[in-house]
Amino acid sequence: MNRSINKIINELLEDKLFYFSLSIVITVTTIFNWNANLMEGILSYYNNFTNYFINGFKYNGNEFNNVYTWPMWGYGLVLLIKSKLIIIILQQLLTLLVIIVVRLYLKNRVDKKSFNLVSYLLICSLPWFFFQVSLWPYGISANLLTISLILLSIGVEKSKLNYVVFSAISFGIMLNLRSDYFYLTFVLATVIIYLNYFLKFSKKFLYIFFIGYQL
Per-residue pLDDT, averaged over 126-155, amounts to 86
83-114 tens-digit pLDDT: 989 999 999 999 988 888 888 888 888 888 88
- For the chain, domain boundaries: 1-130, 136-215
- Which has more pLDDT, 93 or 127? 93
Report which of 152, 138, 168 is spatially closest to residue 201, judged by C-alpha positions: 152
- Which has more pLDDT, 49 or 72? 49
CA angle centred on 48, ends 46 and 50, rounded to 5°:
75
**pTM confidence score:** 0.77
CA angle centred on 70, ends 180 and 80, rounded to 5°:
110
Running DSSP on this structure, what letter comes out for residue 139? H
Per-residue pLDDT, averaged over 161-165, amounts to 84
Bin 56: left if φ > 0, else alpha if -120 < ψ < 50, else beta: left
Q: How far is CA 173 from CA 137, 159, 182, 213, in A?
A: 12, 23, 12, 8
pLDDT at 68 over 70: no
- Which has more pLDDT, 16 or 67? 16
Per-residue pLDDT, averaged over 4-9, amounts to 74
Would you state the pLDDT for residue 152? 84
Would you state the pLDDT for residue 65? 57
Would you state the pLDDT for residue 214? 44
Cα of 121 vs its chain's centroid, Å: 19
Average pLDDT, the chain: 79
Would you state the pLDDT for residue 25? 92
pLDDT grade for 215, boundaries at 50, 70 and 90: very low
Per-residue pLDDT, averaged over 24-36, amounts to 89
pLDDT at 210 over 60: no
pLDDT grade for 134, boundaries at 50, 70 and 90: confident
